[in-house]
Amino acid sequence: MKKMPLGIQSFRKIVEGNYVYVDKTQYIYSLINNGSYYFLSRPRRFGKSLLLDTMAEAMSGNKELFKGLFIYDSDYGFEKHPVLRLDMSNIANETPEILKDSIASEVMVRAEDDGLDLSGGVPSDLFKKLIRALYKKYNKGVVVLIDEYDKPILDQLTNIKIAEANRQVLGGVYGVLKSLDPFLKLTFITGVSKFTKTSIFSELNNLLDITMTEEYSNICGVAVEDLGEYFGAHIEDLAKHDSFKHCDSIHDEILAWYDGYSWDGATRVINPFSLLSFFEQERFSSFWFSSGTPKFLVSLIKTKPASFLALKNLELSERSLDSFDIHKMSLAPLLFQTGYLTVDKKRHQGVIESYLLKMPNLEVREAFNLNIAADFTGNDDNFTETAYWQMKESLRTGDLQNMLATLRSLFASIPYELHISKEAYYHSIFYAIINLLGFSIDAEASVSGGRVDAVLEFEDKVYIMEFKYVDCAPGTPESDKRKLFDKALQEGLNQIESRGYAKKYAASGKEIIKAAFAFLGRDDIELKLAAPTTQ
């Protein structure tokens, strides 16, 4: 069997080392023949670098590497072109000055590799000189491949001033490409985010964005239909191991954990990093998520907890998904571009297209909610996970008083500096916990009488929950606290009754449990139940 190319981004090394390679050369053939300037956004560790390296080998004329692949038997001539690759993930970016020096150094090293002598200058001028020099030396159009173009910005999003300065530096470098059109054969730029609506690409405005294009929806990752062809033998081998005897179908388990990504609402793609990690380590785990979650995402969610609750049943236009404004970041587009949300369905309303988004798979759903809950409460994963198991048993048995004790323990551990006096803060933590447990929770569920804070369904019961947060000054006497609790809890139950939140579930035959939770602060949580009913 062929080996797993985990972490290998060299096409040559994969081919010569007898590693699995999922053929993407049909897309490279199409790109070369149908255009000159492309942009592709995909999440980190999704195969962008390998795609660029494969493209570089093809356009360097190394035909023999492609035996057995689509492009080898096509009419592509494998004409040799000078290839200029710029990997921004290897460029230092702590300040705009360091970024400029690092880009300049990278360009100079590339020039030396080709025996070219460039005089000094700002990065954009050096970049321009190198492209002209390569064209003159080889008398062929230059292929420019820029990988992780946005990393110097994303790395600094916790310091907007530096991120903005880095953006301006990059805009100057990338902007020279349009004026160099006579010297270029192909330009392909990849990254995570999409700054196309900002000035980073204002000069280079002739890029064709193929991110959401159906034709290229499978350009990175492993299509579901390719799983058996490329990994069937490995799946059969794992089926013989005792550790997988419990799986009804390893194939289906793989899909549940790592499938679900889509950029067109139709083509489904498996996360390649997690898939390869699974075969390499022979166990299911959150490999992609554990490899690094951007700090700015967690920071944004903590400052805007209500936005976390709005992620379910989310529908956005392509224009909204494209947006990435350093000064006014919106959570949903960021989560989509970074791989924590994906396209579930595409809808057409006249000439307008919109996209329904969802979390792609079990890996992302479980790990993301665990991370959010742990970060919101300031706990480590082990403490938070223990609380989850306690709550899981309490909810299954209907023992909400026991669940309340677990909640109190969880919230009491929140450091005072992390505490946010907002109802959405508490709601978000509870929502993350319930999602992690694998239960079906509908936050802000729509019913005829309004929007319920949370609905939690089991085979035999339905929980209908309302959350109330009440400001309570430190040192408030216990008797006054009790009055505040009683008032808030009764308001929650009255809201459930007066707005008929339970009517939607009247025909289910399940026990309906109506519960109000009141939060008076970090350490004060109370619960009140209405009389259980079976509709």
pLDDT at 328: 74
Q: Is residue 433 part of a domain?
A: yes
Q: What average pLDDT does the segment 96-123 reach? A: 93
Q: What average pLDDT does the segment 227-247 reach? A: 91
Q: Specify whether 149 is located in the same domain as 21.
A: yes
Q: What average pLDDT does the segment 26-43 reach? A: 96
Q: Is residue 302 part of a domain?
A: yes
pLDDT at 442: 52
Q: Specify whether 139 is located in the same domain as 228.
A: no
CA distance 293 to 217: 24
Q: Specify whether 392 is located in the same domain as 524.
A: yes
Q: Specify whether 261 is located in the same domain as 238.
A: yes
pLDDT at 446: 43
Tell me how far CA of residue 323 lies from CA of 38, 189, 208, 380, in angstroms.
18, 17, 16, 33
Q: Is residue 2 part of a domain?
A: no
162 band by pLDDT with thresholds 50, 70 and 90: very high
CA distance 286 to 362: 9
Q: What average pLDDT does the segment 230-248 reach? A: 91
pLDDT at 197: 45
Q: What is the CATH number of the domain that holds 39?
A: 3.40.50
Residue in this structure with the two tokens 């489904």, named with its chain if needed:
268
Q: Is residue 5 part of a domain?
A: no
CA distance 400 to 134: 71
Phi, psi (rounded to 5 degrees) for 303: -85, -20
What pLDDT, in 10s, does the model give residues 75-97?
999 999 999 999 999 999 999 99
Q: Is residue 207 part of a domain?
A: yes
424 band by pLDDT with thresholds 50, 70 and 90: low
Contact residues for 368 (Cβ-Cβ < 8 A; gap 6+)? 289, 293, 340, 359
Q: Is the pLDDT of residue 5 over 90?
A: yes
Q: Is the pLDDT of residue 111 over 50?
A: yes
What pLDDT, in 10s, does the model give residues 163-217?
999 999 999 999 999 899 999 999 999 999 886 545 577 777 788 999 999 999 9
CA distance 335 to 321: 10
pLDDT at 24: 98
pLDDT at 70: 98
The region of weakest confidence among 112-121, 343-352, 410-419 is 410-419
Query: What is the CA 208 to chain-centroid distance, rounded?
Result: 23
Q: Is residue 1 part of a domain?
A: no
CA distance 55 to 45: 17
Q: Specify whether 317 is located in the same domain as 420.
A: no
Q: Specify whether 230 is located in the same domain as 289.
A: yes
Q: Specify whether 249 is located in the same domain as 174.
A: no
Q: For the residues of 407-470, what is the DSSP string, one character each?
A: HHHHHHTS-TTT----HHHHHHHHHHHHHHTT-EE-TTEEETTEEESEEEE-SSEEEEEEEEE-
CA distance 4 to 259: 18
pLDDT at 523: 62
Tally of CB atoms within 10 A around 287: 23
Tell me how far CA of residue 300 lies from CA of 148, 331, 334, 404, 410, in angstroms.
22, 7, 10, 28, 22
Identity (one letter) of the amino acid at 440? S
What pLDDT, in 10s, does the model give residues 135-144?
999 999 999 9
pLDDT at 447: 42
Q: Is residue 15 part of a domain?
A: yes
CA distance 352 to 364: 29
Q: Specify whether 168 is located in the same domain as 315.
A: no
Q: Is the pLDDT of residue 530 over 70?
A: yes
Q: Which of 325, 358, 377 is the last residue of a domain?
A: 377
Q: Is residue 6 part of a domain?
A: no
Give Rg (Cα) of the chain: 27
Q: Specify whether 310 is located in the same domain as 209.
A: no
The answer to whether residues 191 and 357 touch, using CB atoms and an 8 Å cutoff, is: no
Q: What average pLDDT does the segment 355-374 reach? A: 83
Contact residues for 132 (Cβ-Cβ < 8 A; gap 6+)? 180, 183
Q: Specify whether 419 is located in the same domain as 359.
A: no
Q: Which of 377, 399, 429 is the last residue of a domain?
A: 377
The answer to whether residues 307 and 323 touch, using CB atoms and an 8 Å cutoff, is: no
pTM of the predicted protein model: 0.80
Strands 454-457 and 352-358: unpaired
Q: Specify whether 360 is located in the same domain as 494.
A: no
What pLDDT, in 10s, does the model give residues 434-486?
665 555 555 444 444 456 777 888 888 888 988 888 877 778 898 998 999 99
* H helix or E strand, kind and range, residue 210: none
Paired tokens of 389:
């198991």
Domain of residue 113, residue span: 11-216
Q: Structurally, how many domains does the chain consist of? A: 3
3-state SS record for 299-361? HHHHHCHHHHHCCCCEEEEHHHHHCCCCCCCCHHHHHHHHCCCEEEEEEEECCEEEEEEECCC
Which residue would you say has higher pLDDT here, 303 or 218? 218
Query: What is the CA 184 to chain-centroid distance, rounded?
Result: 33
CA distance 294 to 315: 23
Paired tokens of 77:
């001539």
Q: Is the pLDDT of residue 50 over 60?
A: yes
Q: How high is the mean pLDDT of the chain? A: 86
* H helix or E strand, kind and range, residue 532: none
Q: Specify whether 311 is located in the same domain as 416.
A: no
Dihedral sign for Cα atoms in the order 72, 76, 81, 87: negative
Q: What average pLDDT does the segment 399-419 reach? A: 74
Q: Which of 361, 377, 393 is the last residue of a domain?
A: 377
What pLDDT, in 10s, does the model give residues 62-74?
999 999 999 999 9
Q: Can you give the length of the chain in residues?
A: 535
Which residue would you say has higher pLDDT here, 491 or 300? 491
pLDDT at 445: 43
